[in-house]
Chain A
Amino acid sequence: MAPDGTASDAPLSMNVNVSPPAIEADRLTKRYGDAIAVDGISFSIAAGTVTGLLGGNGAGKTTTIGMILSLVAPTAGRVNVLGFDMARDAYRVLHRMNFESPYVDLPHRLTVRQNLSVFGRLYGVKNIAERIARLATDLDLKDFVDRASGKLSAGQKTRVALAKALINEPDILILDEPTASLDPDTADWIRGHLERYRENKNATILLASHNMGEVERLCDRVLMMKRGKIVDDDAPAKLVARYGRQNLEEVFLDIARGRGAANKETAQ
């Protein structure tokens, strides 16, 4: 795929290596009337990796995630998850995926245990009680597992949302700003848990975040989006080196403010 996000000429099948990519987008496009939210992006995410999806507000991250989850129908192009076309075969793979976002909530009046129990059943989890107990230990939910979800603090809610996203031990975990509005300690704690989860389960994680430190720590690779296109794609350290910057935040600012090309040339 070209780094500017334009489609490669190779068909999807030619991109398949030994094992199929966990997520593969091909000329993925979303238009709302005249506005283009996602503009023909193509990318492939290898299984067992953590990929960051970065970009300013309105860059197309959430729409891209929506299309991967089959919540949004693409205008053109397609997205495959674990080899299944999400427009046609989403139900063959949704039980192996999960999602967490601060913009989606769990029913407030239900206790944490009730919510996790409901989603455990929806995902066909065996031994739900055991699974909830395990998550309560891993994510430190024990003190409030029988409290109404709506009465929790922001940090507690985020941990519960993450527990819901992990209830089915997904192969594909999609996180939209998983540590937004958290204090540094809780955010660090969540990142640690995600790192362990990826290692233990060989899970694929797609992470949209505005926290560049988080992305540098967790991600093997970063897709930089701007105005619906992927404008750069590399490992965080390589991006920093290529742009001749100190950290990913400076790279992000370069790209967001249109200084990317000039800096890359200078660095090279």
Chain B
Amino acid sequence: MSAATSPAFSFSRIFAMVMRHWYLLRSSWPRLLELIYWPLVQMLMWGFLQSFMAKQTGLLATAAGTFLAAVLLWDILFRGQLGFSFSFLEEMWSRNLANLMISPLRPIEFVLSMITMSVIRLIIGVVPVTFLAMYFFGFNFWGLGFALGAFFANLLLTSWAIGLLCAGLVLRNGLGAEGLTWSIMFLFLPLTCVYYPVATLPVWLQPISWALPPTAVFEGMRALVLENAFRADLMLWALALNIVWITLAGWGFMKLMHSSKRMGSLLSVGE
């Protein structure tokens, strides 16, 4: 019998999982098309609306200036979470999860591979759309500069936290919970104030909104676009919240995974 040990952490195993999803993407043009389709449709819709409103006068024209930045940042958040969750759902759909769970792949490696795939999917889906926004509407998303890095990092961290929690819920409850993966982020759309300032919300709702990391990002984006001011305080607040969220999501994922083992649901994946 061979008794060679298996390392507690292995980049090779993460790479194996990334390759598994890369092979899948490469072999399926509908999956590739889907990555870019919705970001493109959203950008066009909000871009035309922004163009229309920019021709108006006063506050409307000012507000319109933030729409394209908002929609592209929203797509980072939404697509980041979907990119993460899809990698997990693909394992459920293909009934491959048990194969992975009995392999030496550690949960942290599994999660890191889904994070990597989330970034890859985002690059494929959103980056081309930012260039199309420049072409169609003259909006230079990359002109947000250093701040864009801070926005991007904070939104991705939130998207992974939500994706991790969704993965845990699907693991625990089976594909019956799949719908949550698609819809959960829309709860954040009104609460994180993507298209309007936090002050628009009722006073009692504002503390809840500020407890969501993306709220600080969208407020920060408006400060940058409308006042040309980078709000480092908002980015640090978002980062602190994200650390709490990621920690809680990781803890929740592990709890839900153990719960699925207690329920025996890993043996009936897909049902």
**A and B, one complex?**
yes
Interface residues of A (CB under 8 A from B): 30, 32, 37, 47, 62-63, 66, 69-73, 82, 91-92, 94-99, 101, 103-111, 114, 117-124, 148, 164, 169, 171, 202
Which residue of B24, B28, B95, B99 has the most chain A CB atoms within 10 A of its CB atom?
B99
Partner of A124, one of B1, B10, B90: B10
Please tell me the size bucket of the interface on B: 35 or more
Residues B24 and A70 in contact, CB atoms below 8 Å apart: no
Which residue of A94, A97, A120, A121 has the most chain B CB atoms within 10 A of its CB atom?
A121
Residues B104 and A71 in contact, CB atoms below 8 Å apart: no
Residues B99 and A94 in contact, CB atoms below 8 Å apart: no
28 contacts between A and B (CB under 8 A): A30-B264, A32-B264, A70-B102, A71-B267, A72-B264, A72-B267, A91-B6, A91-B8, A91-B104, A94-B6, A95-B103, A98-B102, A104-B95, A105-B95, A105-B96, A107-B94, A109-B23, A109-B24, A109-B28, A110-B20, A111-B23, A121-B13, A121-B19, A122-B103, A123-B104, A124-B7, A124-B10, A169-B2
Chain B residue numbers with a CB within 8 Å of A117 are: 16, 19
Residues A148 and B27 in contact, CB atoms below 8 Å apart: yes
B42 to chain A, nearest CB (A): 28
Residues A72 and B1 in contact, CB atoms below 8 Å apart: no
Residues A99 and B102 in contact, CB atoms below 8 Å apart: yes
Per the bound structure, the CA–CA distance linking A117 and B99 in Å amounts to 14
Residues A124 and B12 in contact, CB atoms below 8 Å apart: yes
Interface set, chain B 1-45, CB cutoff 8 A to A: 1-8, 10, 12-13, 15-17, 19-20, 23-24, 27-28
Residues A121 and B99 in contact, CB atoms below 8 Å apart: no
Chain B residue numbers with a CB within 8 Å of A104 are: 95-96, 98-99
Q: In this complex, what residue of A is CB-closest to B258?
A: A73
Q: Quick check: is B255 within 8 A (CB to CB) of the other chain?
A: no
Q: In this complex, what residue of A is CB-closest to B16?
A: A121
Told that A47-B1, A70-B102, A106-B99 touch, could you supply 10 new A-B pairs with CB distance under 8 A? A66-B267, A71-B101, A73-B258, A73-B261, A99-B99, A104-B95, A104-B98, A122-B13, A122-B104, A124-B104
Q: Quick check: is B226 within 8 A (CB to CB) of the other chain?
A: no
Per the bound structure, the CA–CA distance linking A202 and B261 in Å amounts to 31
